[in-house]
Amino acid sequence: MVDFRAFALSAVAGVALSSAAFAADLLPPPPAMEPPPPIMSSEMGGWYLRGDTGVGFNNSVSASTTPNPLNAFAPGQANDNWYSSAMSEAALFDIGVGYQVNRWFRADVTGELRGGSEFSGLEVLNVTAGPNTGFQAADFYRGHVSSLLGMVNGYVDLGSWYGITPFVGGGVGVAFNRFYGGTDNGVISNAVTGSSPSGGVFGAGTKADLAWALMAGFDMSIARNLKLELGYRYLNYGKFKSGASQCLSGNGAVGSFSAPNCGGGFAIASKTLSSNDFRVGLRYYLDNDMPAAPDMPLVRKY
């Protein structure tokens, strides 16, 4: 008679031994997956240094002499007109420090030097009535203008496409505009003495004024912490004023070179200066927490 209990125990033992042998042939379980790197928050920011260089194309500028030469005549006796007033382009360079508040907003403070601009303009005074009728003075003025600007700027980044980030911005600050190397070359004519050369020189003058700017451009990453920036800026940076003049007598007399020969001395004053600036610059972030797209985690297969 078959012992079913012995048979059942033998079957269970055979299955157990077979399972153990099969399990011995399997690979060990895969290691635990590493957690993905933390995603950088868009609210993180970072300090950065910046530097820019470029060229500014100054817009036409009107000017006047002060005090007004018409003050020496009765109303309607004379007229005073300016022609071809202009400012040449300026070379510019700035450095600054800023902070990236989040992925879409940043702000910085910059100090800027502008130089190489030349002012020129022709002033013609005609006396048409009164005892000095027929008197005419034509003066061609020329001088150099340099500016030192301190600006506080803010920028809004408009998103990134293929690694390029467009932006718009604005700034406000103060400009110190210096006029120097001023000269006056002219001719004076009247009914008594005829025509004779005139002119003189101007002392240097510095004027502080409000400056403001509107910007647009784009930037791109060229290294982990380094961005290249290309931008346009409209800049309004106040006015300039020369120092007092020293003039020739205008009648050919030898050695007569003084302020009284200018009617007591006068200065050149500009109206508002403005420029269209084109700049290229670099921004270097001082730490690694500036906003950036996170790296994709590595996917393992076993």
Q: What is the DSSP string of the chain?
A: ---HHHHHHHHHHHHHHHHHHHHHTSPPPPPPPPPPPPPPPTT--EEEEEEEEEEEEEPP--EEEES-GGGGS-TTSEEEEEEEEEE--EEEEEEEEEEE-SSSEEEEEEEEEEEEEEEEEEEEEEE-SSTTTT-EEEEEEEEEEEEEEEEEEEEEE---BTTEEEEEEEEEEEEEEEEEEEEEEEEEEETTTEEEEEEEEE--EEEEEEEEEEEEEEEEEEETTEEEEEEEEEEE----B---EEEE-SS--TT-EESGGGTS--EEEE---EEEEEEEEEEEESSS-S--PPPPPPP---
Please give the Cα distance from 219 to 229 (Å, whole number).
Answer: 4
Report the pLDDT value the prediction gives residue 256, as an integer from 0 to 100.
65
The set of residues, in sequence order, having a beta carbon less than 8 Å from that of 96 and lying 6+ positions away, is 49, 50, 51, 108, 109, 110, 111, 153
Q: In tens digits, what is the pLDDT along the chain, a chain of 302 residues? A: 445 555 555 554 554 545 554 444 555 566 666 555 444 443 336 999 999 999 999 999 999 999 998 988 899 899 999 998 999 999 999 999 999 999 899 999 999 999 989 999 999 999 999 888 988 989 999 999 999 999 999 999 999 999 899 999 999 999 999 999 999 998 888 877 778 888 889 999 999 999 999 999 999 999 889 999 999 999 999 999 999 998 876 554 555 677 777 767 899 999 999 999 999 999 999 985 544 444 444 444 44
Report the pLDDT value the prediction gives residue 114, as an integer from 0 to 100.
97
Q: Residues 240, 246, 252, CA angle at the centre, nearest 5°? A: 135
Say which CATH class 43-285 falls into. Answer: mainly beta
Report the pLDDT value the prediction gives residue 259, as an integer from 0 to 100.
75
Q: What phi and psi, each to the nearest 5 degrees, are found at residue 281? A: -150, 175
Report the pLDDT value the prediction gives residue 45, as an integer from 0 to 100.
60
Token pair in block for residue 150: 């301190």
Report the pLDDT value the prediction gives residue 107, as an integer from 0 to 100.
97
Report the pLDDT value the prediction gives residue 261, as an integer from 0 to 100.
73
Report the pLDDT value the prediction gives residue 3, as an integer from 0 to 100.
57
Report the pLDDT value the prediction gives residue 31, as an integer from 0 to 100.
63
Ordered by start, the domain boundaries in the chain are 43-285
